[in-house]
Amino acid sequence: MKVVRSASPWKTEKLLSLPALLALSLLSFCILGYHPDAEDGGIYAAAIQQRVHPWLFPHDHAFVAAHVGNGVFAWTVSSLAALIHLSVTSCLALLQLAAIAATLWASSEVAKVCFRQGSARFGAVLVMAFSLSLPVAGTALYLTDPYCTARSISLPLLLFALEHLLRRRVFASALLLAAAFVLHPVMALWGALLLCSVWALQRRHPMRTFASYSGAALLICLMVYLLSPVDQGALRVLAATRSYWFLGQWEWYEVLGALAPPVLLLWILSRHEKTRGAGAEERLLIHAHAATTLLCLLIALLFARSSAAHLFIARMQPLRALHLLYAVFLIVAGGWIGDFLHETMNSRKREFVAWATLASCIATPLFVAQLEIYPASQHLEFSRRPRTNGWARAFVWCREHTAQGDLFALDAHYITVEGEDAQNFRSIALRSSLPDYSKDGGVASVSPSLAADWLVGMAAQTGLNRMGDANRLARLAPLHVDWMVLPKASATSFPCDYQNDVAKVCRVPRPTP
Q: Where are the domains of the chain?
A: 12-36+70-344, 390-507
Strand 483-487 with 496-499, pairing: unpaired
Residue environment code for 138-161, b if the CB has 16+ CB neighbours within 10 A, otherwise e: bbbbbbbbbbbbbbbbbbbbbbbb
DSSP classification of residue 38? B
Q: How confident is the model at residue 448 (pLDDT cuts 50, 70, 90)?
A: confident
Beta strands in 358-481 (DSSP E): 407-410, 432-433
What type of residue is 224? V
The bridge status of strand 496-499 relative to strand 432-433 is unpaired
Lowest mean pLDDT among 258-267, 351-360, 493-502: 351-360
Report the predicted TM-score, pTM, of the whole model to 2 decimal places: 0.92
What confidence score (pLDDT) does residue 277 get?
Answer: 60
Of 381, 257, 422, nearest in space to 326 by CA: 257
By the 10 Å C-beta count (0-12 exposed, 13-18 middle, 19+ buried), 483 is classed as buried
For residue 504, is it left (φ>0), alpha (ψ between -120 and 50) or beta? beta
- CA-closest candidate to residue 389, choices 31, 47, 35: 35
Q: Which positions ≥6 away from 307 have C-beta within 8 Å? A: none
Residue 344 has pLDDT above 60, yes or no: yes
Q: What is the DSSP string of 397-416?
A: HHHHHS-TT-EEEE-TTGGG
Q: How far is CA 433 from CA 398, 402, 464, 477, 482, in A?
A: 11, 13, 14, 14, 10
Q: Are 43 and 425 spatial neighbours (Cβ–Cβ below 8 Å)? A: no
Is the pLDDT confidence value at 476 over 90? yes
pLDDT range class, residue 6, cuts 50, 70, 90: very low
**Residue 11 pLDDT > 60, yes or no?**
no
**Cα separation of 51 and 250, whole Å?**
37
Residue 264 has pLDDT above 80, yes or no: yes
Q: Give the per-residue pLDDT at 7.
A: 46
Q: How confident is the model over 67-72, as a mean pLDDT?
A: 68
Kindly tell me if the per-residue pLDDT of 348 is higher than 50: yes
Distance CA 94, CA 262 (A): 34
- CB-count exposure of residue 174 (10 Å: 0-12, 13-18, 19+): middle
- The DSSP bridge partners found for residue 433 are 408
Position 241 pLDDT exceeds 90: no
Comparing 41-45, 71-75, 193-197, 310-314, which segment has the lowest mean pLDDT? Answer: 71-75
User: What is the per-residue pLDDT for 10?
Assistant: 52
- Note the pLDDT of residue 499: 95
Q: What is the mean predicted confidence (pLDDT) over 23-32?
A: 94
Q: Is 393 left (phi over 0), alpha (psi -120 to 50) or beta?
A: alpha
The band of 392, judged by pLDDT with boundaries at 50, 70 and 90, is very high
Residue 158 host element (H or E): helix 150-166
Q: Is the predicted pLDDT of residue 2 greater than 70, yes or no?
A: no
| Residue 512: pLDDT over 80 | no
